[in-house]
Chain A
């Protein structure tokens, strides 16, 4: 078990390094390979209508004239321990993980990310709870009653759920439950949970349900397929041969085995969502990381785009690490094999 944990931890660190390498490559090295001069690269980090002075300044600040290896080293160092920027007479310290300053707001990227993260976190975690509950239970019942009216109906709905885009289901739910029936507040009404928990909850119900619908549909189909397969396993036959009640056979023996592969997929999905649920945040006007990413891309705020990218990649890696460790708890063959 200990060796397993160490292996996974090392794996995660290696992945993080790879992510830093890839992002560095995309943001700083690729432009160079594509034939951009360092002036042009620096210009893209200055914002719109750059002055020659600002470009020169940025070039020095980012060390764009130095060899690629040195640049990457500095990039890593900034992420690991932070970085001091000389801005005239004063020196700004950008704490680790330093991803630079937004040139739209001049705020440190990290600060903005932390500012936007709670909205995305609220959205993703809440939706995950809904979709796990709904998706898995629907899948189990469908598998146990394969071919029944329930099975067919829920699989048709699931197919719809998988194929309908979020902005469609989101807008329909807003039109219906917010503008027509006025049960829930409309778009753009997100409130921080620390300000007003009730408003926070109300504003998130529709986004949760909309986002969860998509994923619940996927998880229902996955669970159904997994359960159908597991129910044919020899050890299920053994469980029945022992005289266990069918409920025990299904929950304790079949479901537990069917859920392990779903856990892996869940790790990926949640990790990705924690980097921003772009469509849902846009549709419901939630000021999360997804919105931030879109806005930053639109305004060419490269440091911010880089920041969101790093955060997304990191959250996927961290969640996957957690899933791997959970896997070892659930499946003894992983732990002891």
Chain B
């Protein structure tokens, strides 16, 4: 784990970046009857091929909205998308719908949380993979079918030449997610986004699916964004980690740094609430108190302040001034007003001992 997250110093310059994927100051807002929902509000990160970025955060922090934004799947009529998304030298936010559509499935693709609802109930698994392949490849049905069977075999589905003609509801949860993965990888995309790919699955199956994604990533040398609320998954798979809170990055670091030297109180909270396999079951989890904020009325200053045990330590800055994501150590960024020394002290003395 030698992640080197990010020097996004080029943010907002409009120049093509050197990275394979670079997201700059991404904002995705939904005007609704209740008010403006700022689901993503100024997010920047980058990712190279062959590497994995884990995006973590409680539910409602904007993870899915971010990933759908990268694929250009938000409806322009109900979502305001701004900022820049650079994929392999092409900017996507300003690109036409048709251009982005041609990249979808071929250059970037996605695995969704619930494979049952994510597959069309009326078409066979094979049909759906063939469709995904043929939309970007001018081949005959027979060739596409062979490819579909081949892909099903590669994701570990037994008897792929038989199962190709089965409908999704005849697959088990794990097999269905494998089929989803086969579909997502059918055009050999350079970027794969997995949005909580194991959340809907049995614990025993979860590990198999994660192994599969890791193996396939090595085989295809793709860039992977692994979205999850499970830090264990990130620890297992990711090189870098982006901790999201209320549509913004709270901490952005190499996985090693994030787990061993985290610099944001929210990350401490997440680590505290994470079940650990190497500990006794009897030890109690420490969930973060309170619940994620409304994205319509985001708390002033630091969005985390109503739940943060340390917000008092900064005068009134935590409630009045929004902390920016600052690089504090090489490749390690966090957005918090606490003095760096104080943070290291709290982590070492108070938090680490309790984990």
Contacts and interface: CB of A to CB of B under 8 A. Distances in A.
Interface of A: 233-235, 237-246, 248, 253, 256-257, 330-333, 336-337
A238 B109 CA distance: 10
A246 B98 CA distance: 10
Contacts of A235: 117-121
Given A234-B117, A243-B101, A243-B102, 16 more contacts: A233-B117, A235-B118, A237-B68, A237-B73, A237-B112, A238-B120, A241-B184, A242-B131, A242-B135, A243-B132, A243-B136, A244-B135, A248-B135, A253-B120, A332-B122, A337-B169
B104 A234 contact: no
Contacts of A243: 101-106, 132, 135-136
Contacts of A238: 112, 118-120, 180, 183
A329 to B, nearest CB: 10
B122 A256 contact: yes
A239 B120 contact: yes
Contacts of A253: 120
28 contacts: A233-B117, A234-B112, A234-B117, A235-B117, A235-B121, A237-B68, A237-B73, A237-B112, A238-B118, A239-B120, A241-B71, A241-B104, A241-B109, A241-B110, A241-B112, A242-B104, A242-B132, A243-B102, A243-B103, A243-B135, A244-B135, A253-B120, A257-B120, A330-B122, A331-B121, A332-B169, A336-B167, A337-B169
A333 B169 contact: yes
Nearest to B114: A234
Nearest to B132: A242
A147 B132 CA distance: 31
Contacts of B71: 241
Among A238, A244, A246, max chain B CB count under 10 A is at A238
B326 interface: no
B203 to A, nearest CB: 23
Contacts of A330: 122
B118 to A, nearest CB: 4
Nearest to B116: A234
Interface string B140-176: 0000000000000000000000000001011000000
A235 B184 CA distance: 13
Contacts of A240: 73, 101, 104
Nearest to A256: B122
B55 to A, nearest CB: 17
A333 B131 contact: no
Interface in B25-59: none
A124 to B, nearest CB: 29
B70 to A, nearest CB: 11
A232 to B, nearest CB: 11
A239 B106 CA distance: 13
A237 B74 CA distance: 10
Contacts of A245: 101, 135
Contacts of B170: 336
Contacts of B135: 242-245, 248
Among B102, B106, B114, B131, max chain A CB count under 10 A is at B131
Contacts of B132: 242-243
Nearest to A241: B110
A243 B132 CA distance: 7
A234 B170 CA distance: 18
Nearest to B113: A234
A239 B124 CA distance: 14
A256 B104 CA distance: 23
B131 A257 contact: no
B121 A333 contact: yes
Top 7 A-B residue pairs of the complex, sorted by shortest distance between their CB atoms: A243-B105, A243-B104, A234-B117, A242-B132, A242-B105, A235-B120, A234-B118
A185 B102 CA distance: 55
A242 B132 CA distance: 5
Nearest to B101: A243
Contacts of B136: 243
Contact of B73 (A233, A241, A257): A241
B119 A331 contact: no
Contacts of A244: 105, 131, 135
A175 B106 CA distance: 60
A235 to B, nearest CB: 4
A245 B105 CA distance: 12
Contacts of B104: 240-243
B122 A237 contact: no
A331 B169 contact: no
Contacts of B102: 243
A186 B101 CA distance: 54
A246 B132 CA distance: 14
A336 B136 CA distance: 32
Nearest to B98: A245
Given A235-B118, A332-B121, A332-B122, A241 B105 contact: yes
Nearest to A240: B73
A227 B117 CA distance: 16
A125 B198 CA distance: 50
Contacts of A332: 121-122, 124, 167, 169
Contacts of A242: 104-105, 109, 131-132, 135, 183
Interface string B168-205: 01100000000010011000000000000000000000
Nearest to A260: B122
A235 B131 CA distance: 13
A167 B170 CA distance: 51
B33 to A, nearest CB: 12
Interface in B306-323: none
Interface in B86-109: 101-106, 109
B208 to A, nearest CB: 22
B260 to A, nearest CB: 36
Nearest to B100: A243
Nearest to A330: B122
Among B112, B122, B180, max chain A CB count under 10 A is at B122
A238 B104 CA distance: 10
A237 B105 CA distance: 12
A140 B109 CA distance: 28
Contacts of B122: 256-257, 330-332
Nearest to B187: A243
